A = this chain, B = another copy of it.
């Protein structure tokens, strides 16, 4: 099994049995989402930015305005961390202390570089497909001015960890006698019904990607 190296940076210390370091587990969590949070440091000040992403192999692609602080700073190769979190359920125990959540989270560490040329086009398509598979092919492609206005970072994943909790609550033994309801309250994230642009020309049907997504899990 292909695993990330483990040291103090990525080691899961709290409840280590929930920790995973194999690439398959980390990449599955990344591939199940399209929104993450990037963490970086400028002059000792931590910053955090929510951003969409896509993955290819050991590379995470992030895009933004070429002029954004995130792109301008991170393209210099400063260390960054990136986190993707899926919350699956509230875990309701008998004791407040043992309340928890079922979740899948992945934290990755690495440095980014600015992407140019053919890789930039491919990276933008990877991010687009990660958000809504196939939408790129339905849309008007970027023109040179738009490509110039867009900055794309490739974050090489040096290290990562995943943390996963599943299943029912775990209470202290005596608490199982208490008359308190305990269990799991699932959280579902789904696409609703598409809302056409008020400026949509008459007679244009809902596209396939949107039709397929509607009503389904995000």
Contact = CB atoms under 8 A, between A and B. Distances in A.
B46 A85 contact: no
- Kindly report how many copies of this chain are found in the complex they form together: 2
Interface size class of A (residues with CB under 8 A): 35 or more
A130 to B, nearest CB: 12
Nearest to A143: B97
Contact of A196 (B67, B181, B188, B196): B181
A193 B141 CA distance: 42
B192 A190 contact: no
Contact of A195 (B87, B141, B186, B206): B186
A2 interface: no
B181 A204 contact: yes
A182 B200 contact: yes
Interface string A172-208: 0001111111111111111111111111110011110
